[in-house]
Amino acid sequence: EPEVTQTPSHQVTQMGQEVILRCVPISNHLYFYWYRQILGQKVEFLVSFYNNEISEKSEIFDDQFSVERPDGSNFTLKIRSTKLEDSAMYFCASSGQGPEAFFGQGTRLTVV
């Protein structure tokens, strides 16, 4: 069964460093998303991406964040200068013709 894959599963980075979280969405999907979940809290929307551009972003998604689809398969989230409060589980998701989104296993980002 097709699935969304994310790498790495865990990333530890120093405050102020740049990180890139990678995702391979399901191959025939057209809509891509990033969400995050701070430990023990709810899942929060960050950004949606369609037709090679951002279709919506939340207020969390400030200038430190960017997304890119560099080729036909990968979808990346870059955090330019990480802060302690960026520590969270980051989920990539994709959706196709149906309204449901399919999520990856997540990348646990720890900023020290």
Q: Which of residues 6-25 bind other proteins (CB under 8 A)?
A: 6
Burial tier of 97 (Cβ tally within 10 Å: 0-12, 13-18, 19+): exposed
CB 18 within 8 A of CB 79: yes
Q: What character string, x for contact with other proteins (CB under 8 A) and - otherwise, covers 28-67?
A: ---x-x-x-----xxxxx--x-x----xx-----------
Query: Least distance to other proteins from the beta carbon of 104, Å?
Result: 5
The beta strands (E) that lie in 38-87 are given as 43-50, 53-57, 65-68, 75-79
Q: Residue numbers of the site for other proteins (CB under 8 A)? A: 4, 6, 31, 33, 35, 41-45, 48, 50, 55-56, 91, 93, 95, 98-106
